[in-house]
Structure 1
Amino acid sequence: MPGLAVLSGWVRVKELSILLVTVAAGIYFSLTTSVGFNSVENYHTIAQYVAPWAIVAAGQVMLLICGEIDLSAGFVFTLSPFLLMVFYNNGAPLFVALLGALVLSAVIGTVNGLIRTVFNVPAFITTLGMAFLLQGLSLVISGGSPVSAPSTGWVVTWFGRGPWTEFVWALLIVAAMQVLLSTTRFGIYTQATGGNPIGAAESGIRTNRIKVINFALSSTLAGFAGILQGTRVGSYDPTNGGFNTMFFAVAAAVIGGTALFGGSGTVVGAFLGALLLGIVYDGFNLTGINASAFPVVLGLAILVAMLLNVYLSVLRSRLGSSRGES
């Protein structure tokens, strides 16, 4: 039936539901705010909320799809700018210092992945312990106080200080990670590792290696996001990031359609989830709603998203069966 085919096509677009909700939220705040929601300045404000959440979420999506999670990503976000400054203050050119910080961020993720796979310690415990370790390192290296970020040069302009650069980086990373997930063998292996780990291993996929690489990717992206945001603001703060950034990223991934139990997800959906959170957060500020209410909305959004994802998964399977019978 043509109608069933059209419905099946729409339902199979995983990002459709979150896209519609995001557009609806934008329209709502456009109509209800007395100040300029639809202004370039306000769009820039929303972009500044969205960019770090989206970049961290891009890495979390890959981990969640293969059945893992990284609670330490928010603290890699915090630590990486101070690692950059250690290299920079010891004579390294700024770009080399940035690369050094990203390499160490990747090493942190690799250590998480090896502890998880070699010693079979649950990712929740492994990355929780790493989170507190990194928090302590950030405080020790920084002395517990913010540090001024470099303020001149092309590296500063391209990696945070230039107008919209943080958001542009978020778009590029989301696009690259979605391509990696959807069109490459590594992406297929990642989905297989989370969806059917035993079957994936029996088919020759080195599932432990896939997990370690995704842990390294998650930490690298979190470290990069921390450098971008700190450079944009002009200082690196040891109290920035942490569990708050990590939970916003995971929330964006879940709201965007990524399954917490592995096997399916979409980086574009996580970006839309981050965009929805940014729009709502900004809209609350503009309409004068108490900021304390935002966690309530966030919690409800996660619960509704989980229920909707379950419903859509059942609907997709039913529509697939119907098409097979016809």
Structure 2
Amino acid sequence: MDLVDWDFAVTVGSRLTGPGPQVGADEAHAVVAELREAADRSTPLVREFTGLHAEGGSAPVLVVDRPGWVRANADGFARIMAPISQKLLERKGPPSPFAEAVGSRVTGAEVGLMLGFLSGKVLGQFDPFAEPHGRLLLVAPNIVQVERELGAEPHDFRLWVCLHEETHRVQFTANPWLGRHLMDQMQAVADTIEPAALAEGLRRATDLVRGNGSLLDVVTTPEQREVLDRVTGVMSLLEGHADVVMDGVGPTVVRSVDDIRRKFDVRRKGVGGLDRLLRRLLGLDVKMAQYRDGATFVRHVVDKVGMDDFNVVWSGPETLPSKAEIEDPAAWVARVL
């Protein structure tokens, strides 16, 4: 038994993805081919800039549409959530208030709603949990839609996006321990879960519409938030590092990088009121802070000690920055270097 009906989540999410931009068959094939080529072209550029070595082709590049992204992420979430699901089922015993209140189909619908919303936002993503070495997803219709909305030069924008996502592939494939570390954090969350407390948090989730915070704020205990703070530190590092790389490499190969960055930063803030509300509920405001704070951390450390010494950060879990150190780079330098 699973706490989430993942197939139903895919069905719901795929129905909510929206049609995407109007693209003819010939253009669609050309976009897919160009994205694959841009991803391959990005590998040596990222390697040279970062000093991290990852073999080309060690993780496949998948150019997907929105339903394909929904399916891939449902599969990924199922792997990530497996420890939590197993722990809850072990502790559940006879039917509990949690089991009665939230069935797998209900939670599947909720996950599907989330995936459906995000499927129109995500440009690309590296999935470090896919066997055997992860996989890079590029969401072609979203990339085309955003480049049109920004009025960006298409070839420049596609390469710029691929530089960011390829950096994530290099981060994980050059440091195989990193994906295992993140999975260990999910196990740590599972070890602290109590079904009654989680159910109470879910019942209070509607309060978020009137207040502040994200869904994680009401479904986590102090112990779980401690683990999630560690994850936040890691994710801030990963996202900030990728932003620094894409902007550092960009000027040499993307002529309009400054124009793209300026327009893209405006777009990241969200558009309408509903969009901003959903972003807050899903924790996407936190995600935006990770890009900003992580990039500030990386730039500060690299400016102070250089890229080679910065790369000590990839040595193992003990050299990763904490959430507090992301906000105080000098503290990480003092502790690690």
TM-score range normalised by the length of the shorter chain: under 0.3
Q: Which has the higher contact order (CA 8 A, sep 6+)?
A: 1
- TM-score, normalisation: structure 2: 0.25
Q: Greater helix percent: which structure?
A: 1
